[in-house]
Structure 1
Amino acid sequence: MTFKMMWALAAEHVDEWIGDDFAEAASVLDQEIGATVSTSGMHEDAQAHFRATFLAPLSVGVAGAGKEAVEAGRGWDRAAGPLLVVLSPAA
């Protein structure tokens, strides 16, 4: 099943990805947001905190609850701090 993932990092980055693999979607989210965080100028400890507190829970959600929602024909959205992720079945 093809779905669309959109994400927004407040004041930094908005993007989307379309595919059919939830694990790949979570990986893309980690890579894209991780790259933005890495070049943000935050200290290493702040970057680690961001990844653990905001990014990791949403990545897990994409491959877990997000997958369940999309497979049931529903959308899924979650926010953690400045990061918002939305999944929706592709039309």
Structure 2
Amino acid sequence: MAIKMTWALIGEHMDEWTGDSYREAVTVLTERIGAAVSASGMSPQTQAHFRETFLAPLRAGVPLEGRAAVNAGRQWNKAAGPLLVALAPMS
């Protein structure tokens, strides 16, 4: 089943991805949010904190809670601090 993932880093970045692999969804999320965080001007310690505190829980949720919701035909969204991720089944 194809999925659409959208995400927003409040005040900084919005993007989307469509595909059928939750593993690829997590990879894309990690790469694109990581690039935005790297370009943000935050100190290396603040970037590491952001990735651990906000990105990591959402990365973990995509293949677990996100997959379960999409497989049931529902949308899933979760926020951690300034980061929001949403998954939806593609029809």
Bin of the TM-score, shorter chain as denominator length: over 0.9
The alignment's C-alpha RMSD in Å is 0.5
Deviation, 1:72, is 1.0
- Equivalence for 2:3: 3
TM-score (norm 2): 0.98
- Equivalence for 1:25: 25
User: Could you report, residue by residue, the CA deviation over 1:20-72 in whole angstroms, capped at 9, with x for unpaired residues?
Assistant: 00011011000000000001100000000000000010011011110111011
Write out the 4+ residue segments of structure 1 that deviate beyond 6 Å after TM superposition: none
- Equivalence for 1:74: 74
Runs (5+) with no aligned partner, structure 2: none
SS state at 1:65 partner: helix
Amino-acid identity (%): 59
Number of residues of Structure 1 aligned to a counterpart in Structure 2: 91
For 1:36-47, list aligned pairs within 5 A: 36-47=36-47
Runs (5+) with no aligned partner, structure 1: none
